[in-house]
Structure 1
Amino acid sequence: MLRKWLLVAPVAGAVGICAGVGANGLFAAGDAKPDLKPSVSLPLTRVVLFNSGVGYFSRSGEVEGEARVDLTFPESDINDLLKSMVLEDFGKGRVSAVSYDSREPLARTLGSFAVNLTGNPTYAGIVGQLRGERIEVSVSATASNQPGKLTGTIVGVERQKLPVGGQAIDVEVLNLWCAEGMRAVKFGDIQSLRISNPLIESEFRRALEVLAQGHDSQKKSVQLQFAGEGKRKVQVGYVVEAPIWKTSYRLVLDEQAKPYLQGWALVENPTDEDWGGVKLALVSGRPMSFRMDLYNPLYVERPVVEPELFASLRPVTYRGGFGKEAEDVLTRIRPDVGDPKMPAAPPYERSKLEEDGIRAATDSLRSAAKRGQAFKQDAAKELAQRIETSSVGNAATAASLGDFFQYVIDHPVSLSRQKSALLPIVGKDIEGARVSIYNERVQGRHPLLGLRFKNTSGAHLNQGPMTVFEGSTYAGDTRVLDVQPNEERLLSYAIDLGTEVDPKAGAGAQKITGVKAVKGIVTTVTKVTDEKTYRVVNRSQTDRTLLIEHPNRTGEQFKLVGTEKPVEDTPEVYRFQTALKAGETRSFTVKEERDVVSTVALTNGAEDQIRYFVSLSEASPDLKRKLEAAIKIKGAWDAVRRELAQVVADLARLHADQDRIRKNLRETPKDAEVYGTYLKKLSDQEKEIDGLTTRQKQLMDDEFRAKKKYEDYLTTISD
C-alpha cells in the first residue's frame, strides 16, 4: 500500500515552499484564494498519556479525493503542535499542505500602522502622532473664543498651566494651523475629531481591528490538506501539554489469603472536546519533553553596513583549477566528499502503519529516548509481541515498551470535556508477609506495622498513595514509589503499639593494633568499636517479625563484626530481621568497627612522641631499638645545648657585673684603695669573658652538628 506522510516539525520549510502569507495572516496553499472545499471531520481515536506532562492524541478517519480537515487548538498548544504533529495519508494520497493561523507579535503589528496604538496611548498621544495631518474638530459651545467647528492642520500637542477654579493646573492643548492662523484648543473642549486624510483614517481603523482580533486569540485554526483519489484512510497525531496521569492503590490484607492489590489510574480530560470511545493508553515512563517557540515570528537584528566606494578596477580573470586540486578544495570544505570510507546516507525507511495508529505514540516515546527501533501499529499485534503479564481482567493490559511501561485500557473510554475519571489498571493477588519495621529516627519507641511484598502483579507500579485495609476495616495509609515487576519493597501503614523497642548505645572502645615507621613518619592503626543494643518486647497476642533499621555507616569505613548478617542493606540503613513470639522479650546487638589511621612525622621536638611510641606494646622490637637510639642521640644534643646555655648565662652574669664595677669606678676617687681593687677585678673578668666567648663559639658549632645528626637519623627510621 502506497502512503505519504509529513512531519510538521519541518513543516515550516515544506509550507514555505507551497504556501504564501495572505493579508489576513493565514498561510494559504498556492495563492491567497480561500479554500472552498467542505471540511471533513477527523474524530479523536487514540489518547496516550505520559508522566512528563504531555499527551499523544491521534485522529483518524476516511476522506475521498481532495479533502480538507479543520482543527482548532488553544494558542498555548501551537508550539507543541508544530514540533510534533505527524500526518499520514494511506493509499494513493499525499499531504499537500498544512495551514495555520500565523501570529505576528501584536506590538510589532500595531507599530507598523501610521497610528501606533501600542501601550494604550491617550487621546493627546494619538493626536500627537498625526502632526501635519488635516483634521476637522467640533468644539463644545462652552469653549471661549472658539467657533463650533475648526478645520486645520495639526501643529502639535503641548501641556500648559491654565487657571481653573482659582489655581493653575496642567492642561493638554491641541495646536492647530487654521485659515485665520494658529489656534490652541483644550482637549477638554473637543467633542469630536475627524481625520481628513482617508488613508490615515483607514490605517487607524485597521489598527483597531488588529486590537480586536488580539482579544480573541485563545483559539487558533489549523487546516490539513489531503490530495489523492478515491476513499482512503488518513491519520494525524500530535503531542501537546496534558496533565500527568496519577495512580492510587488499595491493599487488602487477610489472615488466610494473599494480599490483594487494586490499582486505579486518575485521568483528566482538560480539552474542550469530549472523548467518545477512544483507545486510551497510560505510559509510566518519563520521556524528555520541552517547549520551543516555533509559532511567533522571530526577527534577528542585522548590522547596518555603510556602502564603500572603490576606484575603478580592471576586470579580473581567474584560471580554472586542475582536477586533483579542485577535488582537494572540496574535500577541505566537506571532509565526507570523495571519502570511500564514509558510508553513504541510508535511504529513509518508513515503517509499516497498521489500522489503530499506535506507532505514532511509540515513535514519540522512542524519539524522546533516542531510540531508532520502529514499532508496529496494530494494537493486538503490538500487545501480543510485547505483553509480559496482564492485570485487572477486562480492565487494562500492562505491556513493556523497553525503558517504558504502559497500561492499555481494554475497552474504549468515553470522557466528557473538563471531566476526570478513575480507571482500574491493576487487580491482583500479590506475595507478601507482615512485618514490624523499627527505625529509631522515625519513631523512637514503637515500630511501624508494615508489609514486605513482592510485585507479582506483572505490571509496573507507578508511584502513588496506597490505602491499606485489614479485611473490611481501614488500617492506614502509605505511599509507594515506582516498583518494577518482581521487585520486593517494604511499606508501613500504622504504629505497632503492641511492640516496644529500647535502643541503648554501648560505651565503645579504642585499641591500637599496629605501629609502623617509614623514613621518619610513624603510622598508627587504631581499631574503634561501636556497639548498639536493641531491647525489644512483644506485648501483643500475636507473633511478630521485626525488621530493625540500623544506620549504614560504610561511608565512615565502619563494618559489621560479630553481628548477624542483615537481610537487606540500602545506602541508608541495614535491615536486621528477628522473630518475636507473643509476650517475648529479646535483645539484638549490632557491633561495628573501623580502623582509624594516623600519621606523625618525627621532628627534632618530638621526644615525647618518641617515648610514647616506645611504650606501645604494638611497636616491634626493632622499631623500639631505633627509637631508643634516637633518644640517645637526642640526649647528646640536649647535653650540648645545656652547656651552651650555661656559657651564655655566665657571659650575661659577667657583663652585668662589669656594668656594676664601671659604675662604682665613676663614683670612687682614684686615690682610694678600693679603686685599684675594682680595676683588677675588671681586668680578670675580661680574661674570663674572652675564654667564655671562645667556648660559646665552639659549643654553637657542636650544637649545630648534634642537631643535624639527630634530624638526619630521624629520617632514616623505618620498620
Structure 2
Amino acid sequence: MRATLLLTALALPAAAAELPVRSVTLSNAGLMQVERAGELAPDATIDFRAPLEAIDDLLKSLLLRDPAGRVEAVRLPARDLEEEAFRGLPLRPGDVEGRASLMRALRGQAVEAGGASGRLMDAEDTEAGLRLTLLTGDGLRLLLLRDGEAVQLADRALAGQLARAAEALAASRGADMRAVSIRLSGAAAPRPVSLTYVAAAPLWKPSWRLLLPEGRAEARLQGWAVVENRSGADWEGVRLALVSGNPAAFAQALYTPVQVARPVLPVRAAERVAVEADTGPRPAPPEMPMAAAMPAPGMALARRRPAEGAPPLAALAEAVADAAPGRVAFTLPGPVTLRSGETANLPILDAPLPAERVWWVQDLGARHPLDAVRLTNTTGHVLPDGLAAVYGPAGAEPGAWLGDAELRAVAPLEQRLIAFARDRAVQLSAAQSGTEQPWRVELQRGLVRIGLRKREEVALAIDPGGARGTLLIDLRRRPGARPLFPVTAEGDFGLRTEAALDGRPTTLRFAWEREAQQEVPLWDPGLGDPGLLRWREIDLEDSLRRLPGGPGSLEALQAILARLPAEAPGRAGLEGVVAGLIEARRLLDAARAAIRSHAVAEAGLARARSAVEDRSGPAREEARRRLNEASLAAERAGTAADAAWEAWQRAVQAVLARTG
C-alpha cells in the first residue's frame, strides 16, 4: 500500500479509433504494405501502435484517404521516451521504484500533506507508514502518512510534468512499440477512412513441390508461401497479397533526431608565456663507455527402392495471380488470420506444366551428368524464385523425394532446367584439342600474309548404361569463334546444345572455328632494301637470318605450302615465291662461299705484305713476287664475291617482283 501523490488533471483527449488492418501486401523486396480502414467519427483521431523499427518507413510512406476530413497532424512520442519525459525534472526514472525514493527525489519542493504545508526534506518507509519530514514556518515537522493519505505538490506545472513523465514511463514499458496518433478534422458526420504505409518486413518465401512425369508429359507444380506477421498488430481476416518484383527501396532515419555537427570556435585568450626556471650551473656529465648490445630474447616456436504406388496429391487452394510489367502479385483466395509474431505456410499455386526428364552437363570435367527436368511456364505469369522439392513420378519412383532444386524466376512461356541430383549410372569423359589450317594466301611486297582457320574441338564420351533420353550440354563461348554445332539456347551458361542417347556408348564432338592471320616477312625490314646492301658493309654470317633466302622464312613458307589446299586462293603465287626463295638460298650460299674465299685471299695478301717488310736482298725480291700474286688472287676473289652477291640480289628482286 502506498501514499498517494496528487498531480494536476490532464485534459481528456478527443475520441480515438484504432482502424483494423484490412489488407497486407508482402513484397520479396523485404517490405510490406499495410492498409488500415474503418469508419471514423467527426473530429476523432486515429490511434494505433507500430513497431519502433517501422516508424521511419511509416513516416516516409504514410498515405491517408478521407472523403471529408482534413489532416492536421501525425504525432508520435519521443523516440527515447524515458529520456525525453524526465528531461528537466528533479528525478530520474529509477526514483519511481518506491514511494520513499520518489519523495526523496522531490526534496525541497513545497507540498501539502497531513494537514500541514512545507517543503519536503526527507522521506522514510516504516512499518507504520510513510514518514515525511517537512520544513514549515514553525520548523521541522514529522508526519506519518497512512494508506490513502495524499501528498499534493504546490507547483502545478511540476505536477503536470510528472503526470506526463508517468504516462511516458508507462508507454516505455513496451519500448519496441510506438503509439501513432493522426488528427483529422473538418468532417461533420462519420465517414469511411483508410491509411496505408509501407514498412520493412521479413521476406515472404516461396517454395515449390514438383511431381515429375514419365518422359515427356506434364509435371505438377505446387507453390507454397511462408509468411510471417511482424507488423505489431494481429491480422484478423485480412486480404493478403504476395508480390514478386524488383522495386527500388530505401531507408532513411526520419524518426531519429539528427544533430548537425558544427565546428567549435575556441575562446581566444592571451598566449601563455612559458619560462624555464633557472636552476643554476651543474657539473658536466661524465663520459660513459658504450654499453654492449643486449641479446634479443628468443622466439618460442609455435608448433538411393522402388516404392508402392503413392496416393494422389491433395489439391491446393490457388491464389489469384495478377501480373503487371516487372511484378506478379498472388492474392490469397480467402481472408487470412495470423496473430502478431506467428508464421504460416500458405498455398498459392497448383498447376500442371509441360515437362521432360533430361540429363544436363554443366561441367565437362564432371564424371556424371545432372539429373534434371525441363519445364515450360504455361501459367501466364512469372513464377518467382524459390526452392523446389522434387518427387518421383509413378513407376519406379512413385512419390519418392529425389532432391532439391533452385527455381529461378520464370517468365510466361519461358523454359527452365531444374537439376535435382547427379545420375551416377551415366559415365562421362571429355577431351579438348585444337588445329590450325591455312586456307588462303595474299602477297605483298616483302611479305606473305596467310589466312588461317583455327578449329577448337571438344569430344565428350558418354556411356548411358542402356538408358535412353535427351542430354543437354552447356559449353562456354569462344569469343570470335563460330560454333559448328546446333545451338538450342544461349544465356549466362554460354551455348546449349542437345543430343538424343539411345542407350549405347557414343562420342559427341563439338567444334568452333575462327579466322586468323599469320604474316611471314621475306626479310628483316630493318636492313633496308636488299638491292642496296653491300656485302662488305655487313657481317654476313651474323645477319644471315635477316636476309631474303636466309634460314627461317623459307622453311616457314614451305611448311605452310605443304598444308595449303590445292584450290586455296593465292597458292600459285606462294609456290612461285617459295621457288624464288629456294633459288635465292642457293645463290646466297654461293655468295657466302665466294665471300669466305675473298676473306682467305685478303688474309694471304696481308701476310705477303708483312713478308716484304721483314726481308732484304734476294729474299725480298721473292717476297715481292709473292705479294703480287696474292694481290691478284685477292682481286679475283673480290670480283667473284661481287658477282655472286649481285646474282643473289637479282634473284631477290625477282622474288620481290612476285610479291608486288
Report the TM-score range of the alignment, normalised by the length of the smaller protein.
0.5 to 0.7
Q: Alignment RMSD, CA only?
A: 4.9
Structure 1 residues 77-92: aligned runs within 5 Å = 77-89=54-66, 91-92=67-68
Asked whether 1:93 is paired with 2:69, we answer: yes
Q: 1:277 — aligned with what?
A: 237
Mapped to 1, the partners of 2:71 and 2:586 lie a distance apart of 101
Q: 2:220 — aligned with what?
A: 260
Q: 1:560 — aligned with what?
A: 484
Q: How far off is 1:483 after superposition?
A: 1.4
Specify which of 404, 408, 420 is matched with residue 477 of structure 1: 404
Distance 1:443 1:660, change over 3 A: same
Specify which of 521, 534, 538 is matched with residue 461 of structure 2: 534
For residues 611-666 of structure 1, the C-alpha deviation after alignment (integer angstroms, 9 at most, x for no partner) is: 5425615352133324544665676677666655655565566667878998xx6x
Specify which of 471, 487, 497 is matched with residue 575 of structure 1: 497
Q: 2:532 — aligned with what?
A: none
For residues 295-329 of structure 1, the C-alpha deviation after alignment (integer angstroms, 9 at most, x for no partner) is: 334455668999xxxxxxxxxxxxxxxxxxxxxxx
Specify which of 616, 621, 627 is matched with residue 572 of structure 2: 621
Q: How far off is 1:439 after superposition?
A: 5.1
Distance 1:596 1:657, change over 3 A: farther
Query: Does the 8 Å CA contact 1:614/1:628 hold for their aligned counterparts?
Result: no
Match for 2:248: what amino acid?
Answer: M
Match for 1:88: what amino acid?
Answer: R
For residues 1-44 of structure 1, the C-alpha deviation after alignment (integer angstroms, 9 at most, x for no partner) is: xxxxxxxxxxxxxxxxxxxxxxxxxxxxxxxx988323221222
Distance 1:681 1:223, change over 3 A: farther
TM-score by length of 2: 0.61
Match for 2:479: what amino acid?
Answer: G
Q: 1:516 — aligned with what?
A: 442
Distance 1:266 1:104, change over 3 A: closer
What is the aligned-residue identity percentage?
24
Structure 1 residues 82-121: aligned runs within 5 Å = 82-89=59-66, 91-101=67-77
3-state DSSP class of the match of 2:321?
strand
Distance 1:99 1:637, change over 3 A: farther
Q: 2:32 — aligned with what?
A: 55
Distance 1:94 1:647, change over 3 A: farther
3-state DSSP class of the match of 1:511?
strand
Q: How far off is 1:267 after superposition?
A: 0.7
Q: 1:418 — aligned with what?
A: 341
Specify which of 480, 497, 504 is matched with residue 585 of structure 1: 504
Structure 1 residues 232-631: aligned runs within 5 Å = 232-253=191-212, 255=214, 258-300=218-260, 394-438=317-361, 441=364, 443-445=366-368, 447-470=369-392, 471-497=398-424, 499-503=425-429, 505=431, 510-519=436-445, 520-528=447-455, 530=457, 532-539=459-466, 544-549=468-473, 551-555=475-479, 557-560=481-484, 565=486, 567-568=488-489, 570=491, 571-580=493-502, 584-602=503-521, 603-604=523-524, 605=546, 607=549, 608-614=552-558, 616=561, 618=564, 619-629=570-580
Match for 1:516: what amino acid?
Answer: E
Q: How far off is 1:62 after superposition?
A: 1.7
Q: 1:328 — aligned with what?
A: none
Structure 2 unaligned regions, length at least 5? 1-9, 93-161, 267-314, 393-397, 525-545, 565-569
For residues 264-321 of structure 1, the C-alpha deviation after alignment (integer angstroms, 9 at most, x for no partner) is: 0011112332222111111111211122333334455668999xxxxxxxxxxxxxxx
Q: 1:223 — aligned with what?
A: 181
Query: Does the 8 Å CA contact 2:581/2:655 hold for their aligned counterparts?
Result: yes
Distance 1:635 1:258, change over 3 A: closer
Match for 1:620: what amino acid?
Answer: R
Match for 1:622: what amino acid?
Answer: G
Query: Does the 8 Å CA contact 2:207/2:387 hold for their aligned counterparts?
Result: yes
3-state DSSP class of the match of 2:245?
coil
Q: How far off is 1:232 after superposition?
A: 1.5
Query: Does the 8 Å CA contact 1:438/1:546 hold for their aligned counterparts?
Result: no
Query: Which is greater in Rg?
Result: 2
Distance 1:302 1:478, change over 3 A: closer
Mapped to 2, the partners of 1:468 and 1:624 lie a distance apart of 66
Mapped to 2, the partners of 1:287 and 1:701 lie a distance apart of 86
Structure 1 residues 26-37: aligned runs within 5 Å = 36-37=13-14
Match for 1:234: what amino acid?
Answer: V
Q: 1:179 — aligned with what?
A: none
Distance 1:691 1:243, change over 3 A: farther
Q: 1:29 — aligned with what?
A: none
Structure 1 unaligned regions, length at least 5? 1-32, 118-204, 307-391, 666-672
Mapped to 1, the partners of 2:556 and 2:27 lie a distance apart of 68
Mapped to 2, the partners of 1:537 and 1:291 lie a distance apart of 55
